[in-house]
Amino acid sequence: MAYMKTLPLLDGVKVILIDEDQDVTRATALIAGWVHMWKEKNSNYSIDLLSFVHPKAWYDNESDPLTSTNINLHDYFSVQSTEDAKRKDLENLDNILKTFKLKPQNTVIVNCLSSLFLYVGVRRALQFVEKLSKQVSQLICIYREDFIQTKFPGIETFGTTYVKLEEYIGNKLTNKLVYNAKLIHRKPGGSVICQTEVIWQDIQSYQISAEKITVPSICKTKIEPPKIETTFRIELNAQEKEQRDKTPLPYTVSAKNTSKIFYQPEDIDDIDEEDPDDDLCF
């Protein structure tokens, strides 16, 4: 079963991290495909994009999958040259937490988490994301590997759902975006969904089609125990095994017969019951 087409609607999907490969920058296209799903479900569904990597004018270009026509854009990338950039970034994070409040249905997209690491540091960025995830219905973070040379350790454990976009090896269509998506989703009950799917998206509408990649089962051959080579035979054939099973063991007690002790007294035995210690010379 493929989940990527309607992944945000899956039970327990609270925080999604989309990890882009350097050669597969399709996170915004994937989210654009989910926008159709959200709008079909509820026309008033709130979708906000926090941009830390591009100015607002970038999204006004129709070539980008996410535009100002289908989502609410918040430009936190543009900084005036006369302002203290570091102070401005920290103030922006505090203002964001004050602006976004928990709504019945709203999704916030952070583009991208890598640039946020560079602006305010990893610790501050993770604290911000954790607080923001508690104030919105759903949070989607884009992580781009081309921003940071060293990959953030344990990034696949971030959030409830991890999606790794990888290059598709096979025939590609001219009017389709084709790539692989490795999905790891931790359900509320503790079970984990882990599978890889092929994603096809129309280059105009970004409608999603997905198919699970089935991993062929490995046929395990039965390994026979090594045969011990000796100068004599140690194996038992069927007749010998039958004889062994029928041979009574000397220490087993038959249920039909009772055991008895036969004792023959000797001449030196002292059987005088009046003074049993007479032979001890007390």
Better-predicted residue by pLDDT, 83 or 45: 45
pLDDT averaged over the chain?
79
> Is there a domain that residue 129 lies in?
yes
With bands split at pLDDT 50, 70 and 90, how would you rate the model's confidence at 39? confident
Task: Say if 250 falls within a structural domain.
Answer: no
Is 261 within the bounds of a domain?
no
Average pLDDT over residues 261-281: 69
pLDDT for 219: 45
pLDDT tens sequence across 130-141: 988 888 889 999
pLDDT at 168 over 50: yes
CATH number of the domain where residue 195 is located: 3.40.50.300
Mind spelling out the 3-state secondary structure of the chain? CCCHHHHHHCCCCCEEEEEEECCECCHHHHHHHHHHHHHHHCCCCEEEEEECCCCHHHHHCCCCCCCCCCCEEEECCCCCCCCCHHHHHHHHHHHHHHHCCCCCCEEEEEECHHHHHHHHCHHHHHHHHHHHHCCCCEEEEEEECCCCCCCCCCHHHCCCEEEEEECCCCCCCCCEEEEEEEEEEECCCCCEEEEEEEEEEECCCCCEEEEECCCCCCCCCCCCCCCCCCCCCCCCCHHHHHHHHHCCCCCCCCCCCCCCCCCCCCCCCCCCCCCCCHHHCC
Q: Is residue 220 part of a domain?
A: no
| pLDDT of 199 | 92
Number of domains the chain is built from: 1
Cut 0.85: pTM above it: no
* Percentage of the residues of the chain whose pLDDT score is greater than 70: 76
Q: Is residue 274 part of a domain?
A: no
The domain of 17 spans: 4-212
Q: Evaluate whether residue 234 is within a structural domain.
A: no
Give the mean model confidence (pLDDT) for residues 207-228. Answer: 69
Q: How confident is the model at residue 149 (pLDDT cuts 50, 70, 90)?
A: low
Per the model's pLDDT, the better-predicted residue between 255 and 66 turns out to be 66
Please write the tens of the pLDDT for every residue from 46-96: 888 888 888 887 877 655 677 766 688 888 887 554 455 545 555 667 777
